[in-house]
Homo-oligomer: A and B are copies of this chain.
Amino acid sequence: MKDIQVRSLFREPDKYADQEITVHGWIRTNRGSNKFGFIELNDGTFFKSVQVVYEAEFLNNFEEISKAPIAAALMVKGTFVLTPQAKQPFEIKAKEVVIEADSDSDYPLQKKRHSMEFLREIAHLRPRSNTFSAVFRVRSLAAYAIHKFFQERDFVYVHTPIVTGSDCEGAGEMFRITTLDMENLPKTEDGKIDYSQDFFGKETSLTVSGQLEAETFALAFRNVYTFGPTFRAENSNTARHASEFWMIEPEVAFADLSDNMDLAEDMIKYIIRYVLEHAPEEMEFFGKFMDKGLLERLTALVNAEFARVTYTEAVELLKKSGKKFEYPVEWGIDLQTEHERYLTEEIYKKPVFVTDYPKDIKAFYMRLNDDGKTVAACDLLVPGVGEIIGGSQREERYDVLKSRMDELSLDEKDYWWYMDLRKYGGVKHAGYGLGFERIIMYLTGISNIRDVLPFPRTPKTAEF
């Protein structure tokens, strides 16, 4: 019989009852006496391990197997037996066990509690632990849920470029890309570095957002989204910031701010529902060991109708609340996490979109409201985290955009193609950005972004 993956055993145990099966996997634990032993065998396809029972009576190599170390890879042939009376739902009674790859007693991931910091140092092995097995399966499922959500709605997935020739995206500090010989940089006549000799013939950087390019596609396909890596060269060592992270940026033509919020709300609920349904064991684990209130909070979110409040109203509510904040609230300030969390956790007790922020604290491309002071922006705040999505209706009016750029001393020439969109059928459109790691942290209860990225990149850290 072809070898069976452990996931199939857990998903359809009855199908295999009392049959001879072959499985492969790695030893998670191995305890034995001189007559028999038990191995928890994990093949990575499922969060849980299958129990293998082996007996000296049936195995020629009983001695060898009883000493097989953690992480050794095995082939096991035996009878699959349902065990309704026991702690585990079934077990394999081994007839043949072969060590396919040995391990060593210096294996760093022994069966004991390790600190998250230590596990980061062995990022090549940590997916073999319960926590990271669960994190990275949830990450994979959430990524797929996002694609599925947009594809079911006929959105076009667009790969916006990673290498960018302009530093005009305005969302943060950028990494430079070069193939110049750093020890011997070419110079122009006036002593400056001659970037015309660089690979792309000019200065280039890593993208901080695909939004501007996504807009070009939205004005062709109507409904589009990006999902790719994004970079910030900010030297900030916080639990919520990484230098390399993944972002989703939908963009929709013929849509206004309200349509934008509808889409964001539907998407968030879809992702959470999908993960709860497809990773019940992992989610139960997070609810037990990471965050006791997790499943309740996620279920509440899925069933809630998200609130909507303007920034101006939100500021009033915060001021009236009587709550003492570290940063005092006043119209015009950028809301801090403490304000955001108070709004969503205490005032609304559910997710809330805050809309129509002062233009001075938002990006140049957001659509100016009729009051001349605020822009059609929307941030989604969720309990336990604060801001998880930021979006806006885009300024589609050429003249208004131009005068906003003049105010900010942005040169129209650098944005010629972006301005072109406003000349040729530049209809109203809107979009938002979701930091992928934010939603994974929200889903898992993991509090440090370094622990939801397979190989995190942060200031002074680019290992593996």
Residues of B within 8 A of A235 (CB): 199
Report the copy number of this chain in the oligomer.
Answer: 2
Residues of B within 8 A of A66 (CB): none
The distance in angstroms between the C-alpha atoms of A421 and B132, with both chains bound, is 17
Given known A221-B44, A221-B45, contact A101–B244 (CB-CB < 8 A): no
Asked if B244 and A154 sit within 8 Å, CB to CB, the answer is no
Asked if A464 and B177 sit within 8 Å, CB to CB, the answer is no
- Say if the beta carbon of A161 comes within 8 Å of chain B: yes
- Say if the beta carbon of A213 comes within 8 Å of chain B: yes
* Residues of chain A at interface, number, CB under 8 A: 103
Asked if A459 and B199 sit within 8 Å, CB to CB, the answer is yes
Given known A161-B244, A163-B243, contact A201–B460 (CB-CB < 8 A): yes
The distance in angstroms between the C-alpha atoms of A5 and B460, with both chains bound, is 49
- Say if the beta carbon of A86 comes within 8 Å of chain B: no
The distance in angstroms between the C-alpha atoms of A124 and B243, with both chains bound, is 28
- Say if the beta carbon of A311 comes within 8 Å of chain B: no
- Say if the beta carbon of A103 comes within 8 Å of chain B: yes
Residues of B within 8 A of A103 (CB): 423-425
Asked if A100 and B427 sit within 8 Å, CB to CB, the answer is yes
- Say if the beta carbon of A393 comes within 8 Å of chain B: no
* Min CB–CB distance A103 → chain B (angstroms): 5
Asked if B178 and A157 sit within 8 Å, CB to CB, the answer is no
9 closest pairs, A vs B, by CB?
A: A127-B220, A73-B427, A165-B462, A44-B222, A44-B221, A200-B462, A201-B460, A101-B427, A124-B417
